[in-house]
């Protein structure tokens, strides 16, 4: 039994206990209805307090049921049964009341929440809309302005804000159960508010919906947000029953959509990635202090990411001038967060107070973890680790932030190999969620477990990557860029390729992204490899860098960035520079361009999977979504490929897929 009913005097306490988060599975929905029947049938019961056991009140519908047809009792019926119960129900909320959990709470006559509770409607993040009255009851409680923000924004609110907007009636002081029992007893002595279904709602001002729709359309993140707005609009125009019917039809339609399937795929992939099965039961080491070597953009970003978790950080640079620059870099990043109101001034002061910048490596002697983020050159990195070995505690974990070098070469022949690990952050490191964790063959399991625990503490999405050039993300990026240049060679225009990828859902296309980051970074890597005797093909980007076209920072890259121009402009110089290399191939539509480039990414992903560099296809999807801007609502290149299926791949690629990709596609 996941739902129990016990009595405290004349108040029934109905407790939902379905670990891990009381998701509203079919059985749980039936047991809630049974509890409402039992409470109504018991003449001694005057009111019902509804609580959740464990970490959350109710986390929402059971998302794992969404790949199957909906089974009765359906959640709207459960909510209606609670709402029409003879005895008033009081939702006693802790942890989280999200989606269907919030909708159940809206079916209750009152809502009381404990401090630290998150309440809201994350459905749009799953590609659906609330499906059990969220878009119809919420405006009746908090008005349309707040309801639109809650439902289309998808971001939960805390108990203070929930109380302020009227989503809850009270914040529990002390023990939630006792507070709810007292609240229930007090409520019985007062006039009972009408159920939300019976309340009218004032329509919003003229122009409200157009403004909201314009704002949401700019986000361009799939269809769910705009469809949720349409449900709220219906709730303003139609009666309760008609609005509920519209909402339910929209929910059922979206629940079956590719976008919702993609977002569910990512939802579960993120959770699986944070808990690799091979680390189950392995205790991470405690991290109470950290060091970062290198105060450049990456090092300062990593230091800030660590500081934001409250860790004291020692930032080491080679000399006073570099140390001063490192501190300035850190200050600039913190200042940027203050400007964006992500941290307050006092928090900014605290972030700075916990950072000490030094040129003395022995200052790292007591750090539990040290992350190297110096210049991407093997000799420079080896020197850093040789020195760290001499001063750090034997149980300190030493990590390299290298983005494509082989960590084994960096630390070969140095100290205890079990303590090294690759932690590849993405710039800006205090913002980007992806963290590629690259174990060496000798990395100790608890060192790896500590890396994953650190990722969770940093709020990052960790993905374990094997060792190859570029690990997972940069290896696919290299393939993506080469494929984009191939399309150039075949005659496609730079601006058309970028537009096609923005149309697919990327914030930027491959060429504008290179201009943003700088063409010279990859160019230097290629030149380094060529100098080391590796057979590295000439790229079209090489031609541009050699004439100084390094991107935005030089005012010219794949595009021209004239001061006067409002936006980057296609460059005639680039046309001349590349004229000898681009031919008049068949022109491709935007869809065909996107299909081609995403397929090339998927083909590289299939090779990465076949080589064991990635443990699972879903990990590759997480890397692309959280590290490279692949649209989340497309699910990632591997998910997208598996949904497109093998038969369309020959067309997309313009050639038969590789054996690895064909094998991946046939595995289904
Ligand atoms: N359904 C199924 N499983 C879920 C789940 C859910 N809603 N939420 C979490 N899990 C699993 C998760 O996969 C993981 O499994 C474990 O629980 C712990 O999750 C009709 C249509 C509540 C804030 O979107 O935000 O209601 O990996 O690691 O960090 O209108 O879980 O252990 O096997 O995230 O403590 C709307 C999603 C659904 C909330 C807790 N609800 N969940 O965080 O644990 S749609 C949501 C969360 C809906 C209605 C609509 C978080 C949490 P495993 P976790 P956590």
- Say how far apart CA 301 and CA 428 lie, in whole Å: 6
Cα(53) to centroid of ligand 1, in Å? 15
Q: Cβ-count burial of 402 within 10 angstroms (0-12 exposed, 13-18 middle, 19+ buried)?
A: buried
Atom of ligand 1 minimally distant from the CA of 131? 30
* Contact status, residue 68 vs residue 92, Cβ threshold 8 Å: no
Every domain of the chain with CATH number 1.10.1040.50 lies at 492-578
- pLDDT at position 654 is 86
Enclosing H/E stretch for 439 = strand 434-439
Residues of the chain with CATH 3.40.50.720: 287-467
How many Cα atoms sit within 13 Å of 209 on the Cβ side?
15
Closest atom of ligand 1 to CA, residue 271: 27
Instruction: Give the homologous superfamily in CATH for domain 287-467.
Output: NAD(P)-binding Rossmann-like Domain (3.40.50.720)
- CA–CA dist 140, 150 (Å, integer): 13
- What is the ipTM score, two decimals? 0.97
Q: Which CATH architecture has domain 492-578?
A: Orthogonal Bundle (1.10)
Q: Whose CA is nearest to atom 35 of ligand 1?
A: 55
Preceding amide of 73 cis, omega within 30: yes
pLDDT at 8: 97
Closest ligand 1 atom to 122 CA: 24
Measure the CA angle with vertex 440, ends 434 and 445; round to 5°.
85
Q: Which residue from 63, 101, 135, 147 has its CB within 8 A of the most atoms of ligand 1, so it is best to mutate? A: 63
pLDDT of residue 528: 87
Q: For ligand 1, pick from 59, 100, 152 the residue to mutate: most ligand atoms within 8 Å of CB.
A: 59
Judged by phi (left if over 0) then psi (alpha if -120 to 50, else beta), residue 462 lies in beta
Q: Residue 436: name the closest of 277, 624, 159 by CA.
A: 624
Q: Where in the chain is the domain with CATH 3.90.226.10?
A: 3-256
Which residues in the chain show pLDDT less than 50? none
Confidence (pLDDT) at 352: 97
Give the number of the atom of ligand 1 that is nearest the alpha carbon of residue 118.
23
Nearest to 509 by CA among 649, 629, 644: 629
- In this structure, whether the domain defined by 3-256 belongs to CATH 3.90.226.10 is answered with yes
**Strand ranges of the sheet holding 11-16, from the earlier edge strand across to the other edge:** 3-8, 11-16, 47-52, 89-93, 110-113, 170-171
Pocket test of ligand 1: the residue of 2, 16, 20, 94 to mutate, having most ligand atoms within 8 Å of its CB, is 20
Res 476: pLDDT: 97
By alpha-carbon position, which residue is closest to atom 39 of ligand 1? 59
Helix, strand and coil in the chain, % to nearest 5: 55, 15, 35
Residue nearest to atom 14 of ligand 1 (CA): 271
- For 69-102, b where at least 16 C-beta lie within 10 A, e where not — what string? ebeeebbbebbbbbbebebbbbbbbbbbbbbbbb
The pLDDT value recorded for residue 503 is: 94
At 630 the pLDDT is 97
Catalytic residues: 103, 123
């Amino acid at each position: 039994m996941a739902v129990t009913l016990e009595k405290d005097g004349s108040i029934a306490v109905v407790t939902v206990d379905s670990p891990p988060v009381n998701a509203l599975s079919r059985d749980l929905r039936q047991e809630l209805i049974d509890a409402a029947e039992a409470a109504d049938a018991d003449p001694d019961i005057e009111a019902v307090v509804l609580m959740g056991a464990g970490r959350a009140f109710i986390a929402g519908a059971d998302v794992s049921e969404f790949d199957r047809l909906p089974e009765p009792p359906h959640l709207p019926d459960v909510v209606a049964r609670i709402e029409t119960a003879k005895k008033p129900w009081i939702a006693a909320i802790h942890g989280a009341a999200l989606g269907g959990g919030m909708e159940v709470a809206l079916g209750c006559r009152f809502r009381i929440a404990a401090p630290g509770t998150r309440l809201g409607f994350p459905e749009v993040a799953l590609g659906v809309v609330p499906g059990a009255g969220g878009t119809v009851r919420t405006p009746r409680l908090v008005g349309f302005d707040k309801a639109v923000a809650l439902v289309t924004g998808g971001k939960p609110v805390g108990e203070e804000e929930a109380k302020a907007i009227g989503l809850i009636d009270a914040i529990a002081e002390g023990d939630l159960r006792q507070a709810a029992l007292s609240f229930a007893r007090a409520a019985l002595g007062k006039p009972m508010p009408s159920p939300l279904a019976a309340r009218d709602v004032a329509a919003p001002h003229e122009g409200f919906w157009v403004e909201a729709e314009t704002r949401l359309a700019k986000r361009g993140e799939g269809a769910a947000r705009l469809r949720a707005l349409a449900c709220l609009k219906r709730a303003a125009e139609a009666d309760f029953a008609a609005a509920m019917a519209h909402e339910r039809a929209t929910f059922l339609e979206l629940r079956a959509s590719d976008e919702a399937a993609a977002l569910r795929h990512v939802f579960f992939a993120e959770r699986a990635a944070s808990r690799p099965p091979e680390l189950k039961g392995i205790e991470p080491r405690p991290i109470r202090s950290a060091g970062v070597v290198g105060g450049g953009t990456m090092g300062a970003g990593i230091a800030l990411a660590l500081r934001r978790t409250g860790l004291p950080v020692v930032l080491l640079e080679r000399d006073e001038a570099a140390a001063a620059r490192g501190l300035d870099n850190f200050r600039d990043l913190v200042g940027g967060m203050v400007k964006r109101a992500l941290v307050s001034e006092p928090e900014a002061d605290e972030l700075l107070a916990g950072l000490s910048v030094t040129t003395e490596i022995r200052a790292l002697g007591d750090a539990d973890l040290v992350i190297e983020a110096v210049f991407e050159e093997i000799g420079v990195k080896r020197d850093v680790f040789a020195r760290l070995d001499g001063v750090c505690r034997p149980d300190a974990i030493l990590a390299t932030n290298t983005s494509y070098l082989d960590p084994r070469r960096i630390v070969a022949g140095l100290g205890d190999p079990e303590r090294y690990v690759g932690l590849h952050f993405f710039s800006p490191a205090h913002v980007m969620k992806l963290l590629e964790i690259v174990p060496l063959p000798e990395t100790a399991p608890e060192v790896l477990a500590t890396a994953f625990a650190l990722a969770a503490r940093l709020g990052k999405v960790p993905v374990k990557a094997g060792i190859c050039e570029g690990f997972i993300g940069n290896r696919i990026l290299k393939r993506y860029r080469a494929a984009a240049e191939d399309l150039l060679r075949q005659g496609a225009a730079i601006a058309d390729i970028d537009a096609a990828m923005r149309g697919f859902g990327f914030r930027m296309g491959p060429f504008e992204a290179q201009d943003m980051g700088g063409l010279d970074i990859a160019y230097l890597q290629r030149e380094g490899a060529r100098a080391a005797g590796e057979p590295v093909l000439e790229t079209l980007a090489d031609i541009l860098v050699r004439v100084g076209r390094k991107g935005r920072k030089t005012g010219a890259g794949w595009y021209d960035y004239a001061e006067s121009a409002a936006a980057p402009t296609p460059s005639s110089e680039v046309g001349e520079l590349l004229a000898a290399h681009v031919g008049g191939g068949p022109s491709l539509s935007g869809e065909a361009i996107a299909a081609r480039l995403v397929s090339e990414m998927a083909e590289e992903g299939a090779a990465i999977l076949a080589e064991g560099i990635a443990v699972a296809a879903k990990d590759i999807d997480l890397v692309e979504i959280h590290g490279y801007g692949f649209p989340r609502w497309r699910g990632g290149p591997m998910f997208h490929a598996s949904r497109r299926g093998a038969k369309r791949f020959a067309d997309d690629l313009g050639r038969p897929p590789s054996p690895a990709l064909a094998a991946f596609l046939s595995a289904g």
